[in-house]
Chain A
C-alpha cells in the first residue's frame, strides 16, 4: 500500500509541476472560447482531470502545453460548441490585409491616430472583438495571438493542415481589424476618414 501511495504522490507531484503550471494559459483561452467564466472553469477542470487520467501515457519531455491544449480543444468541440452550429460565410473581399492600419494612417497627423487608437480602445473592446470572431477563426487566433503557438503546433492541436491554419489566421486578423475599427468609429474614438 505504501509503495502505491508513494507512486500516487509522485504522479500527483509531477502533474502539478509540469501540467498545472499551464492553468492560467488554458483558462485564458477557455474564457475566450466559452465566453463565460463558469463554463471556462468547467472546461479547464475537465481538461486537467482528463489529462491526469492519461498522465501515464503522456510522453514526458514532449510539449505538455500543446498536449493540454489539444485535450481542451477536443472537449470544447465535443461538449461546449454551440449545438446548432452552422458554417458561417463571411465576405471579406473588400477588407484589405492591413485594414486597420490603412484606416488609421488615412487620418494622418497631427494627432497621431494610431496612438490615440491604442490609448482609447480598452481590454474589454479587444475581448469583445475576439469573442465576436466566428468560432473556427477565434480558436486559431487565440492560439496564435494569446498563446504564441506556432502554425505547426496549432495545426496539431486543432487537427487541420498548416495551410488552413494560415488562411484562418489571416482571415481572423482581417475580421479583428475590421471589428476594432468599427468599434472605435462607433464610439467616437476616431473619426472615419473621408474616402
Chain B
C-alpha cells in the first residue's frame, strides 16, 4: 500500500468504518511509515480531543428529575378522570380568555396582550396527542395511520402535493372547548398551524369578514400573528401563523373534509 492509498483510508479507519482487510493493510503500512503514522496519530488525537467530555452530574440529575415529573403528569392526562378535567379546563380556559378579550378590547389596551391571549390556546396546549410521524415528510401510509389516530368522526383529505406546503406534524388538540385536528405545515420557513374541527359552538370574536369571489373567510391580525378561519359545511378550519406577511388563503385547498 502506498502512502496515498493509506491516507485515503485513514479517516475510515479512525471512524471505525473501514473493512477488516483495509484496516489491516493501513496498519501494516503505518508500521513501517513514520510520516503516515504521525498523521494518523494526529487525527486520532484531534478526534479524542474534540470528544473530551465535561460531565455535569448535578445538571443531568436535575433534568432527569424534571423529565420524570413531566412523564408522570403526561401519564395522568391519559386517564379518563383527568381527561374530563382537561376538557373542563379547556372550557374554563376559553371562557376566561373570552372574558379577558372583552375586558382588554373594552379598555383598548396594548395590542400585544391580545396577541398573547389569542396565541395561548393554540400554542401552549398544542399537540396534546400526536401521530407517529417522526420523519419530516409523512408518507401516504403514515398519513393514513395518523388519520386513524385522530379517531373521531372527522375525516380529512390533505392535499400537500399541489400547494408547496410541507406537512411536518399531525396531532389533535382540545381547543376552544372542542376536539380539533392539528396539522403543522412549513412553507419557506414559515410555520403554519391548521386546526380543523366541528364548527358548531365555536366562537371567535374580533374577526373581520372578507369576501372573495369564490369564498368567504374571517380574518384577525394581532401583533405579528395572523389568523383566519373559514367554514365549509359543518367544519371550521382555523389557520394561524406568526408571520404577518404570509398569505393564509393559500391554505384553502389544502384541507377539505371528506
A-B pairs with beta carbons under 8 Å apart, 12 shown: A8-B75, A15-B71, A27-B60, A54-B134, A74-B136, A101-B39, A104-B42, A144-B15, A145-B50, A151-B15, A159-B136, A173-B11
A84→B222 CA distance, assembly (Å) = 22
B63 engages A150 (CB within 8 Å): no
A49 engages B17 (CB within 8 Å): no
Select B135's contact among A41, A98, A159, beta carbons within 8 Å: A159
- Chain B residues lying within 8 Å of A177, measured Cβ to Cβ, are 46
A151→B186 CA distance, assembly (Å) = 29
B250 interface contact, C-beta 8 A: no
- Most chain B CB within 10 A, of A101, A105, A126, A159, is at A101
B54 interface contact, C-beta 8 A: yes
Tell me, rounded to whole Å, the shortest Cβ–Cβ distance linking A110 to chain B. Answer: 16
Main secondary structure, interface of B, reads helix
B34-46 toward A: CB 8 Å interface, digit per residue (1/0)? 0000110011011
A126 engages B50 (CB within 8 Å): yes
A111 interface contact, C-beta 8 A: no
A45→B70 CA distance, assembly (Å) = 9
A52-89 toward B: CB 8 Å interface, digit per residue (1/0)? 11100100000000000011001001100001110000
A132 interface contact, C-beta 8 A: no
Chain A to chain B: the 10 pairs with minimum beta-carbon distance, closest first? A101-B42, A48-B67, A145-B50, A52-B71, A24-B60, A78-B168, A83-B189, A126-B50, A151-B17, A23-B60
A83→B243 CA distance, assembly (Å) = 11
A12 engages B75 (CB within 8 Å): yes
Tell me, rounded to whole Å, the shortest Cβ–Cβ distance linking B246 to chain A. Answer: 12
Q: What's the A-B contact tally at a CB cutoff of 8 Å?
A: 102
A78 engages B51 (CB within 8 Å): no
Select A41's contact among B11, B43, B63, beta carbons within 8 Å: B63
A126 engages B49 (CB within 8 Å): yes
B108 interface contact, C-beta 8 A: no
A146 interface contact, C-beta 8 A: yes
- Chain B residues lying within 8 Å of A53, measured Cβ to Cβ, are 74, 130
A15→B11 CA distance, assembly (Å) = 36
Tell me, rounded to whole Å, the shortest Cβ–Cβ distance linking B171 to chain A. Answer: 10
Given known pairs A57-B132, A105-B38, the reply for A123 and B64 (CB within 8 Å) is: no
A114 interface contact, C-beta 8 A: yes
A118→B43 CA distance, assembly (Å) = 12
Within 8 A of A (CB), among B124-138: 130, 132, 134-136
- Chain B residues lying within 8 Å of A78, measured Cβ to Cβ, are 136, 168-169, 184, 186
18 more A-B residue pairs beyond the given contacts A101-B39, A151-B17, with a C-beta to C-beta distance below 8 A: A15-B71, A24-B60, A27-B60, A41-B66, A45-B66, A48-B67, A52-B71, A53-B130, A70-B134, A74-B136, A78-B169, A101-B43, A105-B38, A126-B50, A150-B16, A150-B17, A159-B136, A173-B11
A44 interface contact, C-beta 8 A: yes
Using a CB–CB cutoff of 8 Å, the interface residues on chain A facing chain B are 8, 12, 15-16, 20, 23-24, 27-28, 41, 44-45, 48-50, 52-54, 57, 70-71, 74, 77-78, 83-85, 97-98, 100-101, 104-105, 114, 118, 121, 123, 126, 130, 144-146, 148, 150-151, 159, 169-170, 173, 176-177
A54→B134 CA distance, assembly (Å) = 10
Main secondary structure, interface of A, reads helix
- Chain A residues lying within 8 Å of B74, measured Cβ to Cβ, are 49, 52-53
Tell me, rounded to whole Å, the shortest Cβ–Cβ distance linking A190 to chain B. Answer: 14
Select A54's contact among B15, B38, B49, B132, beta carbons within 8 Å: B132
Minimum CB distance partner of B61 in chain A = A23
- Chain A residues lying within 8 Å of B135, measured Cβ to Cβ, are 74, 159
- Chain A residues lying within 8 Å of B54, measured Cβ to Cβ, are 123
B32 interface contact, C-beta 8 A: no
A85→B186 CA distance, assembly (Å) = 13
- Chain B residues lying within 8 Å of A77, measured Cβ to Cβ, are 136
A105→B16 CA distance, assembly (Å) = 25
Tell me, rounded to whole Å, the shortest Cβ–Cβ distance linking B66 to chain A. Answer: 6
Minimum CB distance partner of A104 in chain B = B42
- Chain B residues lying within 8 Å of A105, measured Cβ to Cβ, are 38
Minimum CB distance partner of B54 in chain A = A123
A169→B12 CA distance, assembly (Å) = 11
